Structure 1
Amino acid sequence: MAWTSLRHLAWLGLVALAACTHSDLRPDYPRTPSTVLPVQADAPLVAYAARMTAEHGTDSGVRLISDSGDALLARIALADRAKHSLDIQYYMFHSDATGELLAQRLLAAADRGVRVRLLLDDLHVAGNDDVLRALDGHRNIEIRLFNPFLERNASLWGMGKQFAGDFSRLNRRMHNKAYIADGAMAIVGGRNIGDEYFDANDNVNFRDLDVLVVGPVVAEVGQAFDRYWNSPQSFPIGAFHRHQPAPEELQELRKSMAAHARTFSQGSYAQNLVARVGDLARETPAKEWAWGQASYLADDPEKGDPVANNQDLHMAPAIRAWLDGATQRLTLISPYFVPGKRGVDYLQGMRERGVAVEVLTNSLASTDAGNVYVAYAAYRPPLLKAGVKLYELKPDARRGRGGSHFFGSSSGSNSLHAKAFVVDEQHAFVGSMNLDPRSFDINTEDGVIVHSAALAKALLSIFADATKPEHSYHVLLDANGGVYWEGKQANGEMIRYDHSPETSWWRRFKVNVGGLLPIEGLL
């Protein structure tokens, strides 16, 4: 997830000379409660899930999705195969090539009679309502916005003023990602909807992880979705517009989507997808599924509310209790890693108990959040002194022969976006939660814990590949306590760096100046 927009808005909000006046979020607008539809046996996805789970009792099945193309295809497949319902929750849903492709499939599903509920955080929607309003005009599609802005067509400066006037509320964002089809299968993980999450961006692509799940845990995902959907924080998009969209607007949107689809289909990315679409017609091989007891965790929608907020609304204590069980090895993958003093003390305690601790995060060259990197940098020395192994992803990491699909095939720069934790090579978490103050205390998050050695092994394989010296820099301490980096060049030569690799002095200067701001708690 890119924090750039939120940081800019927070900054504008703090310096705005005239804050907008707060007003009520139209609580009188009709909001009909709804819930996940009952699972119906006539749905192909339900029948498939039933066959998959028949011999696994109360265990859930999990398929790790590390390949970005597979991540898009999985979402398309669920939209195309759904018969009764699609319940979708995202922090970002871009109106770019892949976003429009998926929106087109959701519209096609609605045309078949599928009920589509789309819940989006409003941070990246405000000012771009037209497409969503047109979709919302379909009788089978309902769109709600979480924690919305009041002024819908505001400039960045205008949104900053709204932040200043209502900062404690608007600073809280819904970072969850969930995609549920027919109550039978769900996708949970770190990916938003947009080109950079599906290896379709020519400039930069996020390296991320999702899991496709079947079995009892799917019902837990649906129950959490309903809590958010029916929350006082979620408003129908129509609540902010006096007039409902005309039928012609949806027809124009169909034409626009069709034109974009024709253009998109002519590109090499689409051609590669088409070559793999045949796989959607076949059931996933059993060997690609891991099985085990699984729990879905999600923050309460009220998390971060200064009035209602308490630790009972947070999933972080449950995550910590699970991590506390580590006795041998703790593996952490987090693109934004700001442990704070409490986190450093916690990991030092792990090391004192003999637990091997290893962390993969972004380098300054690969991160999209320089302020986060600077905050993390302050905690490197004590972590390294405690024996925690730190690795920072290179922006030019590429998939090699025999390597994992994690790095994709794009020629663009790479940035880490996956959030995954592995305990003792036996238990794993995949979700939306970063190891930083914003995820712990401000935003809502979600994810799934699976007690499966097979899933843990798959994640550790990705970690091992990602932390090879050709893919990541190993961060170390010299004899004087100074930080340095080691990595392998394209010619195979190992090289040492005494400052953040692959960065200019100007880049380092800018982020260091930004790091002087007292905003660590917002990162």
Structure 2
Amino acid sequence: MACTLLRRLACLALLALAGCTHSDFRPDYPRVASTVLPVPADAPLAAYATRVTAGHGSDSGLRLISDSNDALLARIALANRAVHSLDLQYYMFHSDATGGLLAQRLLAAADRGVRVRLLLDDLHVAGKDKLLRVLDGHRNIEIRLFNPFLERNASMWGMGKQFAGDFSRLNRRMHNKAMIADGAMAVVGGRNIGDEYFDASEGVNFRDLDVLTVGPVVAQIGQMFDRYWNSEQSYPIGAFHHDTPGPEKLEELRKDMDAHARQFSQGSYAHSLVARVGDLAHEVPGTEWAWGPTTYLADDPDKSNPQADSAGLNMAPQIRAWMDGAQHRLTLISPYFVPGPKGVAYLQGMRERGVAVDVLTNSLASTDAGNVYVAYASYRVALLKSGVQLFELKPDAGRGRHGSHFFGSSSGGNSLHAKAIVVDEEHAFVGSMNLDPRSVHLNTEDGVIVDSHALAQALLAIFADATKPNHAYQVLLDDKDRVYWQGKEPGQPMVRYDTAPQTSWWRRFKVNAGGLLPIESLL
């Protein structure tokens, strides 16, 4: 009786919160459809794409971007070399040092006549869109928001009451990440736009992966961008404001961005970029690309509509069918790894078929999502008993003398953010999709699958480096099925840990207490 009363009171409270919400949306605001522009063959990027793909038939070319500095440089290079169009789709686009620099290059491109379309998920934009609105005032820039909050209030109260009244919709976010230049080259992967994704943060930096693509797959990426851009879930940013920034505001922003770029260029981070040969859009020969049949996968934008029939909207079944083909080895890299009972059974089935299964995820010390970690921890024993190998990244893993560029050169901490899968050392996936319930059922995701021994080997080399004992803890079971961790420091003996390494009792207590909440389906 008391529980029923409490539930009813909670429902009334949620309804009261929802009733406090007002809408800033202007239903009369025009929403004009647009598509990828045809690009003349003599445009620099298009001409290069034609030359480098010659002789490769229907195969696409991919270059793995594991170095965070190169990831920023690739995007800047594409923005600088585009002459007709730039299409960007991101979950987050911060207004920090690197985000500001890329925004400045987008504005410069628009000034020379390039059409710029920027599609952003609204979770991190609502109530913080002043600069974006000014950019949107440029005649060659259009910004749209995906699955927007109707009230532009970024406070906890403003966001909270909207979630209370429209949770099933607002809980579904656009997690896709893509940038297309002149319809000729594109970047797809796990990185958002912000300092922590480009090794420029003084705190924790995310270790991530992208691919730069050329060839037929770029058209697939562009077609899906158009579907999102013109979908019912995408709205012009101007549709949520009744005032329009004047041209003087754009001129002020242009001057501020130019000053920011000059200041940025004088810093040590920029100097390290200049010192590196990192322009990944430079006209390197085709031999430096990994070639193979490539498919771009993305969830349908209607996946964000809780009322839509989910059949055929989700790319996860295609990933599952592709993984089913593993005969010898399955390698998984996922920062947020919550397999659930079905995922555990699936990986157990792989082991029973003799397929080796290796997983790299975050440790409790390196993760930025303790609730996800504790959900993953509940499946460790079953996975380990079946023979799955589990590795958890250390927060202080650093690049060795002969190691990969995956760990960057910053002195800050590390957190895994890369999402990649390798099947049988011949086939690879790189994208935005985590192996957790949120990516599978709630958020929209994207990525590329390629049949390429070269790219698969490059990913496996990163996995091998990242799972060395000085970079990651291996998770093991003792003879009483108790979990323990094993790792070492360079030149030191192996050390066993019976509690999550490099964490305090308070950190462990907090995440374990949070694990009591029935929220796994939301993670």
Match of 1:346 in 2: 346
Offset, 1:248: 1.0
Match of 1:115 in 2: 115
Equivalent position amino acid for 2:346 in 1: Y
Moved more, 252-261 or 188-197: 252-261
Q: The residue matched to 1:481 in structure 2 has which SS?
A: coil
- Indicate conservation of the 8 Å contact 2:147/2:304, yes or no: no
- Asked if 1:356 corresponds to 2:379, the answer is no
Match of 1:522 in 2: 522
Q: 2: CA distance between counterparts of 1:173 and 1:280?
A: 30
Offset, 1:26: 4.2
Pairing 1:63-462 to 2, within 5 Å after superposition: 63-276=63-276, 279=279, 282-462=282-462
Number of paired residues?
512
Structure 2 residue ranges without an equivalent (≥5) = 1-12
Match of 2:10 in 1: none
Equivalent position amino acid for 1:18 in 2: L
Q: The residue matched to 1:76 in structure 2 has which SS?
A: helix
- Indicate conservation of the 8 Å contact 1:16/1:160, yes or no: no
- Asked if 1:487 corresponds to 2:471, the answer is no
Equivalent position amino acid for 1:64 in 2: L
TM-score (normalised: structure 1): 0.95
Offset, 1:474: 0.3
Q: 1: CA distance between counterparts of 2:76 and 2:90?
A: 15
- Asked if 1:18 corresponds to 2:6, the answer is no
Deviation track 1:221-255 (CA, whole Å, cap 9, x = no partner) reads 00000000000100000000112211111111112
Equivalent position amino acid for 1:446 in 2: D
- Indicate conservation of the 8 Å contact 1:91/1:174, yes or no: yes
- Indicate conservation of the 8 Å contact 1:205/1:412, yes or no: yes
Q: The residue matched to 2:354 in structure 1 has which SS?
A: coil
Deviation track 1:274-320 (CA, whole Å, cap 9, x = no partner) reads 22368468423434310000000000001042211313100000000
Deviation track 1:92-119 (CA, whole Å, cap 9, x = no partner) reads 0000000000000000000110000000
Match of 1:4 in 2: none
Equivalent position amino acid for 1:522 in 2: L
Moved more, 273-282 or 353-362: 273-282
Equivalent position amino acid for 2:233 in 1: Q
Deviation track 1:163-191 (CA, whole Å, cap 9, x = no partner) reads 11110110010000010000000000000
Moved more, 232-241 or 273-282: 273-282
- Indicate conservation of the 8 Å contact 1:73/1:277, yes or no: no
Label 1:328 to 1:466 Cα distance change in 2 as closer, same or farther (>3 A).
Answer: same
Q: 1: CA distance between counterparts of 2:23 and 2:251?
A: 34
Q: 1: CA distance between counterparts of 2:462 and 2:278?
A: 26
Q: 1: CA distance between counterparts of 2:341 and 2:195?
A: 36
Equivalent position amino acid for 1:474 in 2: Q
Label 1:490 to 1:267 Cα distance change in 2 as closer, same or farther (>3 A).
Answer: same
Label 1:498 to 1:453 Cα distance change in 2 as closer, same or farther (>3 A).
Answer: same
Equivalent position amino acid for 2:314 in 1: H
Offset, 1:262: 2.5
Q: The residue matched to 2:72 in structure 1 has which SS?
A: helix
Q: The residue matched to 2:87 in structure 1 has which SS?
A: strand
Percent identity between the two aligned chains: 79
Q: 2: CA distance between counterparts of 1:53 and 1:180?
A: 17
Q: 2: CA distance between counterparts of 1:515 and 1:279?
A: 44
Equivalent position amino acid for 1:206 in 2: F
Q: 1: CA distance between counterparts of 2:230 and 2:113?
A: 22
RMSD of equivalent CA atoms:
1.7
Offset, 1:25: 4.9
Label 1:320 to 1:25 Cα distance change in 2 as closer, same or farther (>3 A).
Answer: farther
TM-score (normalised: structure 2): 0.95
Offset, 1:452: 0.5
- Asked if 1:60 corresponds to 2:81, the answer is no
Q: 2: CA distance between counterparts of 1:348 and 1:228?
A: 36
- Asked if 1:38 corresponds to 2:11, the answer is no
